Amino acid sequence: MNTKTKQMFKNVAAFPDNPNWEKYISREGEFSTDSADIRTEFERDYNRIINCCAYSRLKHKTQVFFATDNDHVCTRIEHVNYVASIAKSIAKYMGLNTELVEAISLGHDLGHSPFGHHGERIIIKIMQEEGFPYKFWHEYNSLRFIDDIETLPNQDGLNENLNLTYAVRDGIVSHCGEVDENSLIPRKDYVNLRKIQKGQYMPFTYEGCVVKVSDKIAYLGRDLQDAALYNFFSKEDYATLRQIAENIVKEKVKLKEINTTTLMHKFIQDLCENSTPETGLNFSHENYELMRQIKKFNFEKICMNRRLKPFMEYANLVLRSLYTFLSEYYADFNTITKLSRDEQYYRNIIPNFSNWLIKYSNIDTQQRVVRKYKNKIIYNIENEMEYKQAIIDFISSMTDKFAIKAYEELITF
């Protein structure tokens, strides 16, 4: 590899000598910390992310295969750790800030819905039908979770919002790895992250760009491995995959060489060899095309596989049923009273949703004090549309297993 690459990127990395440093580490609210704290700003963010509840829930959220009981199939929590591993390797070689890429990587999917991207599509349709003024997208939902929903107790035991740095928040909301693009260069503008649209901007840092490309490397490689474990591919499919590689690299490829570690190592090395601060993060033409073709193969052979269709229909039934069920309880400030009347029948979904309303709305401010909630109030219970937003947020926070458990309460007598 080009040994100059590391030194060149170090000059644009997110370190204190960077002209944008104060913007990178800025926070929206006051941040209390022990004067003897030895951690850096991004280390604090990393710690706050891995200690929040949304991070814990990732272990039971779909990556590709719904509600898997196979211990060796990737869940969302493994995915974010794969992204972190890839991003750290790239950042370390290039001389970028590895603490920043790790914090972004581990936080980038905190707002992902249950049942993976299919669950996301279901929520999008529900919101369209209900007349919501904006479209759900998991990158922005992750920003909402780290800004408004996830909390940790402070030194006085009061639950406060995470209040992460701008650079971490930016990398999370800008991380989308599903788009086909080469030559990733950070944007120059310091923008209001709450007002951006999906795909509008590149990340503000090169570290954010590294996570963005690492997300794609991680899911392309691991999706192949998991699908193979479930015998999704025929001999003809493996032959197709091998032919894709041979057509692009112009040499014979042994079938056994087509595996996740080979692919990920190939893409990581190629990216490091072909990237500069001036031209951005680049793959060679051959490997960019290989990545694009593998993505297409995965979509056709995995995402559209008929074996997933029954569960897609089930996921649609589950999420829609939960949304409809909770919607029918709206009674402005009397909503919790109305919910409590049926708590004996629905011992999981109703208490948890009632707690959600107390924590995030103005429905019972006295209980907020008793429960030591110092986080933001984000719903006005007098507004039915904001109540519906609370339902969407509550559902999007669920794991696959909790969503299924809640649904089974609805159909069990």
Q: How confident is the model at residue 245 (pLDDT cuts 50, 70, 90)?
A: confident
pLDDT over threshold 90, residue 55: yes
Asked if 184 and 144 touch (Cβ cutoff 8 Å), the reply is no
pLDDT over threshold 70, residue 134: yes
**What does residue 361 show for φ and ψ, rounded to 5 degrees?**
-125, 180
Tally of CB atoms within 10 A around 317: 13
In a domain, 395, yes or no: yes
pTM for the model? 0.95
Domain ranges, residue 290: 4-110+150-304
Is 314 found in the same domain as 300? no
**Rg of the chain on CA atoms, in Å:** 22
Q: Which of 270, 304, 338 is a domain's end point?
A: 304
pLDDT over threshold 80, residue 303: yes
Is 323 found in the same domain as 297? no
Higher-confidence residue of 396 and 199: namely 396
Is 268 found in the same domain as 377? no
Q: How confident is the model at residue 250 (pLDDT cuts 50, 70, 90)?
A: low
Distance CA 219, CA 210 (A): 14
Residue-averaged pLDDT of the chain: 92
Tell me which H or E stretch contains 119: helix 116-130
If phi > 0 it is left, if psi is from -120 to 50 it is alpha, else beta; for residue 157 that is left
Q: Which of 304, 338, 364 is a domain's end point?
A: 304
pLDDT tens digits, 135-180 = 999 999 999 999 999 999 998 999 999 999 999 999 999 988 556 6
Least trusted range by pLDDT, from 12-26, 298-312, 368-382: 298-312
In a domain, 197, yes or no: yes
Copy the structure tokens of residue 287.
């490997």
Is 253 found in the same domain as 104? yes
